[in-house]
Copies of this chain bind each other. A is one copy, B any other.
Amino acid sequence: MSTLAIVPNSLLADGLTRIQQEIDSAFDSLLSVPEDQRARLVEAMRYAAIGGGKRVRPLLLAATADMYGVDRQAAVRAGIAIESVHVYSLIHDDLPCMDNDALRHGKPTLHLAFDEATAVLAGDALQCFAFEVLADTATSGDPFTRIELVTTLAVASGQNGMAGGQMMDIAAETASFDLATVSRLQQLKTGALLGAAVEMGAVLGKVSVEGRRHLRAYARDIGLAFQIADDLLDYEGDEAAAGKALRKDAGQGKETFVSLLGPERAREQARMLVDQAISHLSNHGAEADLLRALARFIVERDR
């Protein structure tokens, strides 16, 4: 097992800085503001998409793609697609009829900075934009690769993925979920898209379905660890560092990993999952160090 491999912190810091710049720059050039009444829509998409995000999903995707020598521009474009889906889900999640949040990445949520109708539309357009970017020949010259990217992202985002998890999350406000149901909810709501990020990197690398098995296992473990860390952040994090409202789960009466396990056992579980995630990469050498560092980052982040 390579769980104890020492990963230089600079690898992660550099990786995050690089992908954040790449994603911001790609959003900036791909989302150009038209000179008519659609301007407000694209300005809203840019407001939500550019700056502020950690870009964990694009980094997972690019770090996986890098292991297989994928052209960086292709990985960044696929990263734009998965981040567009993530951003649209945050826009819609923040709406008054959903979580009614006022703060996201330290600035007013989109429906407050613009208005609700524009926020609904900007989210819709960003989801669509994701598939437009993936289907473009600039993402891959191989139509099999492009169509597999579309399928992977669509399945992870819809009723059997993220949207399904969000529906369960709404149900969690009025039902009392056990640990297995909370795990299933989070696997769909957060895990599916994190898994898709790794999977899309492997698709770009033309790795066979069999050859991706260990990557999917890695993604499943970090997905769960990510959510436990999120619950811990909600329970005991610093709002200024997080750039969003915390202490919401308890207020909504939702069962979480923290409410069900307590903070100590939850933290222990997250660390165990990270070790397990890293163990799935044991057949890889230094080329997987960024994925290993990312796994650790996921439970240690403060936002």
Contacts and interface: CB of A to CB of B under 8 A. Distances in A.
A260 interface: no
Contact of A42 (B121, B147, B159): B159
Interface string A30-53: 010010111011100100000000
Contacts of A34: 159-160, 164
A108 B132 CA distance: 33
A134 B128 CA distance: 13
A128 to B, nearest CB: 4
Interface of A: prevailing SS: helix
Given A118-B170, A120-B98, A159 B127 contact: no
Contacts of A184: 36
A4 interface: no
A128 B127 contact: yes
Interface residues of A, number: 57
A174 to B, nearest CB: 10
Interface in A139-161: 143-144, 146-147, 150-151, 154-155, 157-160
Given A38-B168, A150-B147, A184-B36, A132 B120 contact: no
Contacts of A120: 92, 95, 97-98, 120
A172 B117 CA distance: 14
Contact of A168 (B36, B155, B185): B36
A147 B135 contact: yes
Nearest to A148: B135
A32 to B, nearest CB: 10
A41 B154 contact: no
B97 A128 contact: no
Contacts of A115: 97
A68 interface: no
A248 to B, nearest CB: 15
Contact of A154 (B128, B159, B166, B172): B128
Nearest to A111: B97
Contact of A132 (B45, B97, B154): B154
